[in-house]
Amino acid sequence: MMEEDLKPLDISVFDYYRKLDEATLDVMLDPYIRDIKQKIVILDDDPTGVQTVNDVFVYTDWSVETFKKGLTGAKKLFFILTNSRGLTVPQTTAVHTEIAHNLAQASKETGVDFILMSRSDSTLRGHFPLETETLRDVLEDDMGIQFNGEIIFPFFKEGGRFTLNNIHYVQEGDKLIPAAQTEFAKDKSFGYSSSDLTKYVEEKTKGKFLAKDVTCISLQDLRDCEIDKITNQLISVHSFNKIIVNAIECIDVKVFCIALCKALQLGRRFIFRSAGSVCKVIGGVKSRDLLTKKDLVLPGNTNGGIVIIGSHVKKTTQQFEELKNCKYPLEFIEFHAARVLEEGGLAKETKEVIEKAESFITQGKSVVVYTSRELVKLDTDDKDKILEVSVAISNALVAVIGDMTVKPNFIIAKGGITSSDVGTKALRVKRARVMGQIKPGIPVWMTGDESKFPYMPYVIFPGNVGQVTTLREAVEVLMSDDETNE
């Protein structure tokens, strides 16, 4: 079917599929997860990949020593934050080459094998296939191993991302919109034209991997628990061909992971290009309740908090407007991004915004610092140049936190690149523990003792996740007079 023939679906289409008992699936799956001897290494192209997990560590560098700590640690999985969605093609290539060399060396020195996952955007933006191809080439050369295939798994229920009949959808209200018909597909750096993931593969690989050769794990087979059939599909893949996994519920991920574990037991190797849902399941991470104010706000700090908004996707702008209806008082400060066009303009803007923000915060008032909602127009179509200007604006915005001398009561960063840079550049985090989520799909880090503000919960709010009210609700959790939010 051609893209122009694809129509939005009503979400009630999910009701037509057979229901499975999740508790029964858990009993089937748990022995396979426990039997996994490899460590699960997740490379995250922005810090939102921990949207589904809790009580795991995320590292912000990829040295051999860091990999050795992760591979020999007590946890089954760990995250490495690459922030590569904010890098150019040459930078991404260099980073992933270095990562692969260091991972190979760490694996050899520790004797610990691994399963490798490249966690990226559930709306298909990012350096694909560059990242996974680079990883494959270097690791195969360094370790003398062979990856049989690449598993493409962008399902992420908390964000409203579903794959059905090989078509990837983004939920908007009660409708499922083919992904290529959304604003995400129009991204100037990572745009695409195919919602059908088999055609997306052919498009992004420039015909190196053809749509007709892609292996598709159907939702029907998953709901019928055709474990042996799916396993046979997996073990038949070779030459790093692509595998598309359809999914609309977590139960689909669990059925697939049973078949995957059987294929792994037979010696097959795969690299994942996925959203966050499969990371949680294959890592055996148990769910926990949403975090409350008692979990998140440290006692004794009478300062106000700060919300930093850098993302420009439609959902962020809607959430920003709704934040103005917060039941608690907030001070809004605009960061004028267009000053990037002035010599020294961004540095002056950052200084002025910090002065305003610190004045309010020390009075116990919480502030919202937001970039102008209109995108800066540049006289170029050069994707790398556009990305560089975007990063320059992001760096200046992030410096609001990095140069701040007052410790806020809480920090929320909105947007993938923004939240990554706040964590690594402004807060200078080297290793953080993922506490859990404040709202579905909204993760929280506990900063380490090396950071600018040690042992401070830091809320990472993806640009494209949540309902219109979710940002307001998260802020209200943090500002509530009720310590438990019950």
Per-residue pLDDT tens over the stretch 72-93: 999 999 999 998 988 889 999 9
C-alpha to C-alpha distance for 429 and 415, rounded to whole angstroms: 18
pLDDT at residue number 379: 65
Do 462 and 343 sit in the same domain of this protein? yes
Q: At what angle do helices 64-72 and 89-110 cross, to 10 degrees?
A: 50
Do 424 and 445 sit in the same domain of this protein? yes
> Residue 244, Cα to own-chain centre: how many angstroms?
19
For the segment 278-299, the average pLDDT, to the nearest whole number, is 90
Tokens of 202: 């052919």
CATH of the domain at 365: 3.40.980.20
Do 226 and 108 sit in the same domain of this protein? yes
pLDDT at residue number 486: 44
Across 13-22, 146-155, 293-302, 350-359, least confident range = 293-302
Is it the case that residue 380 has pLDDT exceeding 80? no
Do 48 and 81 sit in the same domain of this protein? yes
| pLDDT band with cut points at 50, 70 and 90 for residue 482 | low
Which spans in 172-289 are helix H?
197-204, 219-223, 227-235, 250-265, 277-282
15 is in which domain, residue-wise? 3-282
Query: Of all helices (H) and strands (E), which one includes residue 225?
Result: none
For the segment 35-63, the average pLDDT, to the nearest whole number, is 92
Do 210 and 331 sit in the same domain of this protein? no
* 486 in a structural domain: no
* 350 in a structural domain: yes
Across 38-42, 256-260, 454-458, 461-465, least confident range = 461-465
* 339 in a structural domain: yes
CATH of the domain at 142: 3.40.50.10840
Single out the residue in 232, 254, 282 at which a domain terminates.
282
Do 304 and 226 sit in the same domain of this protein? no
Higher pLDDT, 2 or 373: 2
pLDDT at residue number 3: 85
| pLDDT band with cut points at 50, 70 and 90 for residue 466 | confident
> Which residue shows structure tokens 């609309």?
248
Do 350 and 246 sit in the same domain of this protein? no
C-alpha to C-alpha distance for 482 and 486, rounded to whole angstroms: 8
Do 203 and 104 sit in the same domain of this protein? yes
Is it the case that residue 115 has pLDDT exceeding 60? yes
The chain-wide mean pLDDT, for the chain, equals 92
Higher pLDDT, 442 or 420: 442
Is it the case that residue 259 has pLDDT exceeding 80? yes
pLDDT at residue number 438: 95
Instruction: Give the number of domains in the chain.
Output: 2
Q: Encode pLDDT of 334-352 as tens digits.
A: 999 888 778 888 899 999 9
Peptide bond into 129 cis (omega under 30): yes
pLDDT at residue number 376: 64
For the segment 138-142, the average pLDDT, to the nearest whole number, is 98
Is it the case that residue 114 has pLDDT exceeding 90? yes
Is it the case that residue 102 has pLDDT exceeding 90? yes
For the segment 127-133, the average pLDDT, to the nearest whole number, is 97
Give the C-alpha distances (Å, rounded to integers) separating 29 from 119, 211, 234, 257, 284: 22, 31, 17, 8, 9
Is it the case that residue 134 has pLDDT exceeding 50? yes
Do 157 and 300 sit in the same domain of this protein? no
Q: Encode pLDDT of 57-72 as tens digits.
A: 999 999 999 999 999 9
Do 108 and 19 sit in the same domain of this protein? yes
Single out the residue in 248, 282, 316 at which a domain terminates.
282
> Percentage of residues in the chain with pLDDT exceeding 70?
97
pLDDT at residue number 143: 97
Q: Which are the contacts of 318, defined by CB distance < 8 A and separation ≥ 6? A: 468
> Residue 113, Cα to own-chain centre: how many angstroms?
24
* 156 in a structural domain: yes
> Percentage of residues in the chain with pLDDT exceeding 90?
76
**Sheet holding 175-178: strands in order across?**
9-10, 175-178, 167-172, 161-164
Is it the case that residue 479 has pLDDT exceeding 70? yes
Give the C-alpha distances (Å, rounded to integers) separating 103 from 63, 174, 356: 8, 43, 44
Do 273 and 337 sit in the same domain of this protein? no
> Residue 202, Cα to own-chain centre: how many angstroms?
24
pTM: 0.88
Asked if residues 407 and 431 have their Cβ atoms less than 8 Å apart, the reply is no
C-alpha to C-alpha distance for 166 and 155, rounded to whole angstroms: 11
| pLDDT band with cut points at 50, 70 and 90 for residue 378 | low
